[in-house]
Amino acid sequence: MSKITISAVVAFLLILAVVPFSRAALNAHYYDQTCPQAESIIFQTIRNASIYDPKVPARLLRMFFHDCFIRGCDASLLLDSTPGNKAEKDGPPNVSVRSFYVIDDAKTKLEKACPRTVSCSDVLAIAARDVVAMSRGPWWHVLKGRKDGRVSKANETINLPSPFSNTTTLIQSFAKRGLNVKDLVTLSGGHTLGFSHCSSFSARLQNSTDTSINSEFAMSLRKKCPLQNKDRNAGEFLDSTSAKFDNDYYKRITMGKGVFGSDQALYGDDRTKSIVDSYAKDEKLFFTEFAASMVKLGNVGVIEDGEIRVKCSIVN
């Protein structure tokens, strides 16, 4: 066997080792024949919900991340708990995940148009793309053909990335899902949409050894999140243009104004700092890379032996 052939085999085996989950082939045109109106139905549902509630885009994008990071992109996050099982959506990191009704509404309409055809996991993947595009971010072709999982366990949500994580922990967490250092920094840019309650970052405000945070910014956060905070709704937007998908998140990190310790840590590590700088300077580059990383994330944990749920909150 030639050296070139051996190298090719080794490279292929390495790819299999890095991405062990993706067993099913996805296709951008998966529903072209069976449900050509699927993406239009999902888009209209999400647009209407977002007009009614501006928090919907950030919530659905976060929902997609949290689903794909546990058991892969199989809509296990959408399943309700049962008397015999506490599901992912009731795990501690997901208690604040909201707007499941939007996905349920889209799925109800899809069942009327194309019964038992479009999986809940595909609805969520398309929804994540649409909320980014609607927020003036990039658009990409969503690969489709996922099946829905039948297992959802709250205790597995401990494996979700934490706002308190350091960069090494984050890199390891992403690597387990076949995502590299650039994917980590790129997908973290999803924080350009959204809001965080004090509980996710207030600990670092009391840490006098954390010099990574801008002192004036820390002071403003302490006013919003005092030690004896009684306002459960108190918190901070994750960037200054929280309803618009842009690169302001990265600009703020370069100024020491990352809300989460995990966000600011990206600028204090040589493995990630230069990527943060490049996105802070070039929004178009960030958009291109974000679309690519979202497609990659959407391939994590795709299963062939699942089902197409009729209702996203319960197994068939």
141 labelled catalytic: no
**Euclidean distance between CA atoms 204 and 90, whole angstroms:** 26
Cα maximum dimension of the chain? 69
**Euclidean distance between CA atoms 25 and 164, whole angstroms:** 35
> Please, are residues 97 and 63 in contact by the beta-carbon 8 Å criterion?
yes
Q: Is 192 annotated as a binding residue?
A: yes
**Euclidean distance between CA atoms 160 and 174, whole angstroms:** 10
* Phi and psi based region of residue 231 (left: phi greater than 0; alpha: psi -120 to 50; beta: remaining): beta
Q: Is 307 annotated as a binding residue?
A: no
Written as one string, the DSSP assignment of 284-305 is HHHHHHHHHHHHHHTTTT--SS
Q: Is 67 annotated as a binding residue?
A: yes
Number of H helices, E strands in the chain: 13, 2
Closest CA to 132 of 289, 282, 251: 289
Q: Is 76 annotated as a binding residue?
A: yes
**Euclidean distance between CA atoms 193 and 92, whole angstroms:** 21
User: CB-hemisphere CA count at 13 Å for 132?
Assistant: 30
Q: Is 254 annotated as a binding residue?
A: no
For the packed helices 120-134 and 38-52, what is the interaxial angle rounded to 10 degrees? 60
Q: Can you list the pairs that 213-218 forms with residues at least 24 positions away whose Cβ atoms lie under 8 Å?
A: 213/256, 213/257, 213/258, 213/264, 214/255, 214/256, 214/257, 217/255, 217/256, 217/257
Written as one string, the DSSP assignment of 54-94 is TTHHHHHHHHHHHHHHTTSSSSGGGPPPBTTB--GGGSGGG
Query: Any idea what DSSP says for residue 142?
Result: P
Q: Is 191 annotated as a binding residue?
A: yes
Q: Which candidate in 29, 66, 141, 197 is catalytic?
A: 66
- Catalytic residue list: 66
Q: Residues within the annotated binding site for heme b? A: 191
Q: Residues within the annotated binding site for substrate? A: 161
Q: Residues within the annotated binding site for Ca(2+)? A: 67, 72, 74, 76, 88, 192, 241, 246
